[in-house]
Structure formats: structure tokens, C-alpha cells
């Protein structure tokens, strides 16, 4: 009886092994075995010039996300957590100096994650981190862990790049969201969230959008600051730190529609707008769900530097009345006008009526100013790039950053004064060494020809001078007796 029972048991085990083998074969057919854990001593090398734009080294258990080498643009290299179905990078290391995709780069983990390349050394690392393992959670959070401590030693959710995802807290102490082109930033204040323009030499970070938590009390010094979190039900909530009390909600288009099974993200994009999207397995695409600024003319750089955006059809003009901004009205500026060299005024002036900015409520202003006083104050300040004046209110808005897109408003009482940096005087291009040598040889030849010509001319002149002197000597008159003698000689022919 026992032997009869053993045989079926062995058969069951063999069948199970066959099923397991079949599963492994199916997985092998789909790709290599997924790595879901990195331990101390891990090393991975980027294949220089790889054709695939993403090289994963770590996967989330659900297979939806992966972490690895990402090609940025056509030639740069970064580390990123990627949503595999859409190939969208939800987080990136964004080092100050990107790697070169055409060169090898190495990612190591030995207590901390470090990215290096042979030319520049360390490109990026998780600072002040001591960990034992690295995992990528099903939420897309990249986590460095220690065995003895429940809290992460480091996590990507605390170091966002340009995107927030579900259940990721965005706090006052969090680094700002920075757009991929590094021109815009989302920051959180004690009771508000705001969008800022960057890239102006660190002198100014003008605010162009602000949302204050409606139920917060910023005048209450003891009230804790707010933090933000993206909710799967279709909104971005603002809560008080500590107790988690909700004080405001940014509602998305799908708010309260009970949409389930979607993945959401909120991204600060390169045009300066903050947008939210959701992804479903059925649509296989990101669907727009929210945008902080609804009109193109509300964006700070929609028409480029010294551009003028006309609402309605959102047409672009230039402040000097050019019909379009292709090519742009003026090159983008990143520095101020205070770096003068003492050679006189460094800028030209453009004056324009019917202009304003969409975000003037976020700009500092002066009251009880005339248009002339407003202009004069800006003209005397090298850090001022322009000034807007509203004759109806007497408000003067100095612009202490390089002039970007202005807004057209059909009101002659709104005028603007703007500085435009003068272009440097064109310099004659220098000659190459070969051109310099050829010029020198040609100069010597011409000088030799000139000298030879002068010498020949001198000899000709000298010869003519001698010949003329001989002729003059023959024609000099002799004594009278000689003439008489010649006359008598001639008479002898008569005889």
C-alpha cells in the first residue's frame, strides 16, 4: 500500500517540477529574470553607445517600474526610475554634470549608490547614506534600507525631480520640483504652493503662480506648515504637518468620478505649467487631468524673451511690433545689466503701450507713481530690466529679471519701459596660421617687386640723364673765331 502511495506522490512532484519548468521557460521567453534587490558590492556598467534608450538594473516586484541608466536627449546619460509601459521617467538623479551616453559609466552600491564615469569621476551619489540593500517598491519609490532600522536610509520620494506620484509627500523641507530644462520650480511655503522662474543667475526667482491653502491660518505662528500629497481619487491635497488635517484640495477633472485602477502623476513641464495625468491599462496613454495655468498667455515664457502674447487666439508678437517670434524676438538672457565695463550705456530702450504681465499680482510693486517716475526709477537701477505702469491705479511694477513674455491688454493707460542689451561690436575674425604665413610671403614678394621696380626706374632715369647731358655739351656755343673759320671754309666751294 505504501509503495502504491509513493508512486502517485512522486508523479505529483514530477508534474509540479514540470509546471515550474514551464513557467520558467515562459518567463525566459519574455526576458531575463527580474532583479528586485541590490546588495552591498553590486556593480553595473552602462554599455557605451547602447541602442536602447533605457538599461534597467532593478525592477519593482509588480514589474511596472524599473530603475537604471537612461539616455537624455541624444547624447547624455542619467539614472532614472521609469514607468515601463509609457517609458516616462518618474524620477531622475539629475546630476549637475550628466554622463556621456557614448562612454561607459558605472553604478555601484556599497552603503550608498554612486554613479561614476572614467572622465569626470563621481557624477552622482546618495549623500550621507549607510545602507545594506536597495529596492524599488511597487509605488515607484527607490529605497536604500538598513537591516536594523525600519525607516529608509534614503528614498527617492524625499528627493523628487520634476514629478510627484501617488502617496508621495511634498513638504516644505523637500527639494523643489525642477523642470527638465531647469527653468522652472515648484516650491512649498508654510501655507501655499508656488511656481517660480529660475535660471537668472541666482539674483531673482520671480513667482508666476501661487495657490494658498484656503483653510490654513498663515497669521497663526504656531500653526504647522502644510504639505501636499497626490491622492488616487483625483486631487492634490494640502494637509497640516503632524495631525494630517486637510486644509485645501486642488480638484482634478476626474475628482469624485470613482475611477479605479489608475496610476497618477503630477509633473512640472518645460513650458512652466504644472499638470496632472493618469494612466490606465486600457487606454495605454497618459490622459491630462489638471493644469495649474489654463491659458497659454498665462505662461511666463510662451512667446519667448521680449515677446507679446495676445489673448484669445494666443498669438505671439514682438515688443517692436514684429508679427511673429520665429525666429524669437530676442535671445534669452540669464544675467543682469550690472556687469558693465564703463563704456557707456549697455542697453537700448523699448517703450510700449497696452502691455502687462499675467502674473503681476505676484510681483512687488510701488504705489502713487507716475509713468515718468516709474521709468526713471528703473533706468537708474542696473538690476532692473523693465517697468510696468498702470495710470489708473498708480501702481509701478519693476521687473528685476530679464524680460520674458508680456501680455497684451487693450488699455492705453498700461505702459511699459524695457531695456534691451546692446549686442557687442562685431570683431574681425583672426587669420589661421596658414593664412598668416601666406600673407607674409605675399607681402615679401610685393616688397621685392616694388624695390626692383624702383631700382630699374632709377637706372633708366640715370641713363636718360647722362644722354641728355652729352647732347647739351655738343650744343654749347664756341668762340666767334671758330664761326668765322667755318664761314670761310664754306666760301671755298664757290671758287
Residues 413 and 353 reside in one and the same domain? yes
Tally of domains within the chain = 3
Q: Is residue 198 situated within a structural domain? A: yes
Domain boundary among 95, 126, 156: 156
Give 414's strand partners: 390
| 490 in any annotated domain | no
Quick check: is 24 in a domain? no
- Give the separation between CA 154 and CA 167, rounded to whole angstroms: 17
- What CATH number does the domain containing 141 carry? 2.90.10.10
Q: What is the per-residue pLDDT across 186-228, written as a single tens digit (0 to 9) for each?
A: 999 999 999 999 866 556 689 999 999 987 777 777 789 999 9
How far is Cα of residue 477 from the mean position of the Cα atoms in its chain? Answer: 100
Range of the domain at 319: 298-421
Residues 207, 110 share a domain: no
Q: Are residues 138 and 213 in the same domain?
A: no
Question: 111, 129, 156: which is the final residue of a domain?
Answer: 156
Determine, yes or no, domain membership for 319.
yes
Please tell me what DSSP assigns to residue 19: H
pLDDT in tens, 126-139: 988 999 999 999 99
**Residue 305, C-beta contacts closer than 8 angstroms, at least 6 positions apart:** 328, 329, 330, 331, 332, 333, 402, 403, 404, 405
- Please give the Cα distance from 279 to 196 (Å, whole number): 28
Q: Position of cell 550705456?
A: 345
Same domain, residue pair 118 and 86: yes
Q: Please provide the size of the chain in residues.
A: 495
Apex 206 CA angle, 202 and 211, nearest 5: 130
Give the pTM: 0.77
Coil, strand or helix at 368:
coil
User: Do 67 and 113 share a domain, yes or no?
Assistant: yes
Least confident span in 104-113, 326-335, 486-495? 486-495
- Edge-to-edge order in the sheet of strand 113-117: 42-46, 105-109, 113-117, 121-125
pLDDT in tens, 142-186: 999 999 888 999 999 999 999 999 999 999 999 999 999 999 999
Q: Facing residues of 125 across strands?
A: 114
Residue after which a domain boundary falls, among 156, 182, 200: 156
Amino acid at each position: 500500500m505504501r509503495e502504491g502511495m509513493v508512486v502517485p506522490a512522486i508523479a505529483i512532484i514530477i508534474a509540479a517540477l514540470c509546471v515550474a519548468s514551464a513557467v520558467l521557460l515562459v518567463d525566459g521567453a519574455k526576458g531575463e529574470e527580474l532583479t528586485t534587490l541590490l546588495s552591498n558590492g553590486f556593480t553595473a556598467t552602462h554599455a557605451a553607445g547602447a541602442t536602447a534608450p533605457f538599461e534597467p538594473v532593478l525592477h519593482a516586484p509588480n514589474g511596472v517600474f524599473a530603475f537604471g541608466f537612461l539616455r537624455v536627449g541624444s547624447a547624455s546619460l542619467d539614472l532614472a526610475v521609469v514607468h515601463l509601459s509609457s517609458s516616462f521617467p518618474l524620477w531622475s538623479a539629475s546630476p549637475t554634470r550628466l554622463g556621456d551616453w557614448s562612454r561607459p559609466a558605472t553604478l555601484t552600491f556599497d552603503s550608498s549608490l554612486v554613479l561614476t564615469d572614467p572622465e569626470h569621476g563621481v557624477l552622482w551619489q546618495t549623500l550621507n547614506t549607510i545602507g545594506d540593500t536597495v529596492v524599488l517598491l511597487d509605488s515607484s519609490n527607490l529605497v536604500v534600507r538598513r537591516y536594523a532600522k525600519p525607516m529608509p536610509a534614503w528614498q527617492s520620494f524625499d528627493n523628487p525631480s520634476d514629478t510627484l506620484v501617488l502617496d508621495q509627500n511634498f513638504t516644505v523641507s523637500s527639494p523643489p520640483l525642477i523642470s527638465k530644462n531647469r527653468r522652472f520650480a515648484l516650491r512649498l511655503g508654510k501655507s501655499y504652493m508656488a511656481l517660480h522662474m529660475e535660471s537668472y543667475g541666482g539674483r531673482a526667482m520671480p513667482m508666476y503662480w501661487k495657490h494658498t491653502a484656503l483653510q490654513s491660518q498663515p497669521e497663526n505662528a504656531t500653526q504647522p506648515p502644510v504639505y501636499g500629497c497626490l491622492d488616487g481619487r483625483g486631487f492634490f491635497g494640502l494637509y497640516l504637518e503632524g495631525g494630517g488635517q486637510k486644509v485645501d484640495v486642488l480638484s482634478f477633472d476626474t475628482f469624485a468620478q470613482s475611477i479605479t485602477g489608475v496610476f497618477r502623476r503630477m509633473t512640472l513641464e518645460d513650458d512652466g505649467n504644472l499638470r496632472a495625468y493618469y494612466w490606465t491599462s486600457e487606454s495605454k496613454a497618459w490622459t491630462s487631468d489638471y493644469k495649474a495655468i489654463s491659458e497659454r498667455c498665462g505662461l511666463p515664457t510662451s512667446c519667448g524673451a521680449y515677446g507679446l502674447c495676445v489673448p484669445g487666439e494666443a498669438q505671439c508678437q514682438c515688443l517692436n511690433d514684429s508679427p511673429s517670434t520665429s525666429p524669437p524676438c530676442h535671445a534669452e538672457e540669464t544675467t543682469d545689466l550690472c556687469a558693465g565695463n564703463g563704456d557707456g550705456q549697455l542697453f537700448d530702450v523699448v517703450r510700449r503701450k497696452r502691455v502687462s504681465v499675467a502674473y503681476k499680482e505676484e510681483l512687488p510693486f510701488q504705489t502713487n507713481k507716475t509713468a515718468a517716475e516709474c521709468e526713471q526709477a528703473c533706468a537708474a537701477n542696473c538690476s532692473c530690466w523693465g517697468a510696468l505702469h498702470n495710470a489708473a491705479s498708480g501702481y509701478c511694477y519693476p521687473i528685476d529679471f530679464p524680460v520674458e513674455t508680456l501680455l497684451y491688454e487693450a488699455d492705453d493707460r498700461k505702459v511699459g519701459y524695457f531695456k534691451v542689451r546692446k549686442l557687442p561690436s562685431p570683431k574681425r575674425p583672426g587669420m589661421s596660421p596658414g593664412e598668416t604665413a601666406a600673407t607674409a610671403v605675399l607681402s615679401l614678394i610685393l616688397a621685392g617687386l616694388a624695390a626692383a621696380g624702383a631700382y630699374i626706374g632709377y637706372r633708366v632715369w640715370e641713363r636718360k640723364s647722362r644722354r641728355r647731358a652729352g647732347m647739351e655739351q655738343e650744343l654749347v656755343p664756341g668762340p666767334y673765331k671758330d664761326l668765322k673759320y667755318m664761314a670761310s671754309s664754306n666760301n671755298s666751294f664757290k671758287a
